[in-house]
Amino acid sequence: MHIVLYKPDIPQNTAAIIRLGACLNLKIHLIEPCGFNLNDKRFERVVMDYLGLCDVIRHTDFKTFLKKYKKSRIVLMTTKAKKIYHKFRFKKNDMLLFGRESAGVPRELHKLLKNKIKIPMNKKTRSLNVAMSVAIVTSEALRQNRLLK
């Protein structure tokens, strides 16, 4: 299972997702540029020694990522989706794409990607923390594919 972070903004969230990746044996892809340096103290404080236990793949931009994984199924997590995550049939090698905390993903990516899902939420709220969203959706994808042990 692959988690893809599109230009992440917040070091603590990215670090928490990398820790999750280490614990659940996920590949984490970072679409650059990140909104912080990977030597940022806030990042290091949360990621601790988990960075060495997780396969983190960095991509210079989305075009480069897409070229390398053009045959992969990319699933966009977005509050604008109609389909709810637990009603979606995940595959073992899905690339679960999460937008940046401040702005999501650009409109062009919304148009480009056909698989879009959301987590149902209270209508009075805007969005969940990205690390929470990754944990919720990934656990369902792993459960469906019997990858949790």
Task: Write the pLDDT tens digit of every residue in 14-31.
Answer: 999 999 999 999 999 999
Find the length of the chain. Answer: 149
Closest to 30 measured CA to CA, from 67, 12, 56, 64: 56
33-61 pLDDT, tens digit each? 998 888 878 878 887 888 889 999 999 99
CA–CA dist 11, 9 (Å, integer): 7
Torsion of CA 148, 65, 60, 131, to 10 degrees: -30
66-76 pLDDT, tens digit each? 999 989 999 99
CATH node for 2-144: 3.40.1280.10
Residues 75 and 123 sit within 8 Å (Cβ to Cβ): no
Q: Where are the domains of the chain?
A: 2-144
Residues 121 and 79 sit within 8 Å (Cβ to Cβ): yes
pTM above 0.75, yes or no: yes
* 120: preceding bond cis by omega (within 30 degrees): no
